[in-house]
Structure 1
Amino acid sequence: MGGPTGGTSAWESPQTASGGGCGDACGCGGDEGAYELDPLTCGLDPDLAALLVAAGLDPVQVEDIAHLAVEEDLDQGVDVTTVATVPEDAVATGDFTAREAGTVAGLRIAEAVLSIVCTDEFAVERHVEDGDRVEAGTTLLSVTTRTRDLLTGERSALNILCRLSGIATATRAWADVLEGTKAKVRDTRKTTPGLRALEKFAVRCGGGVNHRMSLSDAALIKDNHVVAAGGIAEAFTAVRAEFPGVPIEVEVDRIDQIPPILAEGADLILLDNFTPEQTREAVELVAGRAILESSGRLTLDNARAYADTGVDFLAVGALTHSSPILDIGLDLREDHGQGPQGAADDAAREDR
């Protein structure tokens, strides 16, 4: 079984749930003092919340995202198609099924979305786990609940599940290419606003590791910081003086910039747009005195060439900003389709 578990290095963001309180849309109503609640006691089913925490996600944040997704889809109204075609007391079982091969991520988040919509309790049968590789036709998750609720929450749940599974699938392709080397594929902060924690979780599901989660986790001195500070050494010294306990990464685009950075004590050096040959030269020059990360020019076709130089990380922003979705659908089982429900079955397959 695959999964987003494992240890972290000093340059891999911690896989623990962050703190935080309930937003206005939270299931607890956002009462005063809610920020002091344990995340496991707020809104979501405790067992589901515990699974999210174990995956390194904050249940409160997941619940808020679920509310936003559903509320955006309903726009203060109702699902007019479903209300018109499905009897209020109808119950159905729906199967979330992969329509193409890939790596799954976001199943528990999809459950959280459905839990926001479902007015009655619902039964869930989990067939695979986040991080698992699946083939086309694999049933991922089966849910039995009121048909109206299932169809109303379908698209919101699928939007997140398909998006995160697409990221995990793309990451897995990179991880497979790098297998057998010490290099790991790593994400960037090029994430969808509001979904960073979920998208970085998907990277972990695909076998990648996370760079910093925010601007406060670590310093990354890039060309504009160097210009503003008056030089690389000046920028490094300023960060070290202001935030002595923060790891510092420095971006370079030439070999000759590396020795002075090493002398300053940089923890990590980002090799920007280096060729594999230049990267190998940098690895030999640094000789283990700093962690090295390649960025720019990277493709699946040349990833192995970079990894074979001995570099530690390959930074790939495309994991989160350009990965296509993994096609996943929800189909109601035929044995639940009677009368008006038959039309609901057809609507479910349209996935609109």
Structure 2
Amino acid sequence: MTAKKNLVRFSFVLVGAAFAAFAQAQTVLKFSHTDQQQGARHAAAQVFAKKVEEYTQGRYKVQVFCCSQLGNDPKNIEQMALGGIDFTVSSTGSYAPHIPSLNLTMLPFILDSYEQGWKFYDESKWLKEQFDKAPSKGFRFLATWEAGFRSMTTKDALSSPEDAKGKKLRTFPNEMMRWTLEAMGFGIQIMPLPEVYLAIQQGAVSGQENPIDTIYSNKFYEVAPNVTLTNHVYSPIPLAISEKTWQKLSPADQQAISRAATETAPFARQMIKENDEKMLADMSAKGAKVNRKPNVDAFRKAVDPVYGKAREKYGADVDAVLADAAAIRKAVK
């Protein structure tokens, strides 16, 4: 009987040692983003985390921090470049302080559908050249996930640039977005995403602009109930990894993490595309007024000077990105 007890005790010791060795061998990678827990960005991050753990046979565990817990988008990218966090996912324009030419991805009205956007981000030669600059800045792009087309939520009804005059709109720190919104007639207020709801509620700004998923998950329609589907900018969210983290990985683990990122992209894209109408319907049921037919032609005309300003600063890159976008619009109706 004693021998049996000793055998059982010894077995527990072995199992405990095995778990301890596993825990010690497993490396935790930090993934920070600004979306809410119920948002598509967080859902995609969780899918990615599971795939990373599976494809690295448990050597790596991705810990996801949502809701700006570790910082806003600029701070997350800065921390990632320095090696303070391992992953983040954000609008392409948020990476522009490190790669200025990425401002041009925020040019207004250059893509008309999700399918066009996916093809542009997967196949644009110009964009690949810009993304290839990232490792020298301290991070590298792994895959492009989805956020959607940007639209407006405002306290007052919005149908044309005339309605924008005298209104202050919150946006994120991006030069091209500022030029676009100012051309539409808005005054601009830059502020972190977690501060926006209260700022609208208290009247510091009249509204904000973001993709539908972000509007919905942050409940901006509660304080700015006029949801206007301007679709003024296509705004996907490339996933990036710290270059310091990347260089520590074995070639096999680099391949595994790249695979996890790439395989998560279709999930993120379909989730956003399929949920847009459901979210709009739910917002309408909760009192939001959805304007599906604003005067887009008037908004397009208003932002025409933005292309000229961009050419003055970015030169031939503007024509390169516009040519790629035009070819894709022609190929994908």
User: Is TM more than 0.5 here?
Assistant: no
Q: TM-score, normalised by structure 2?
A: 0.27
Higher helix proportion, which one?
2
- If asked which structure has higher relative contact order (CA below 8 Å, sep 6+), I would say 2
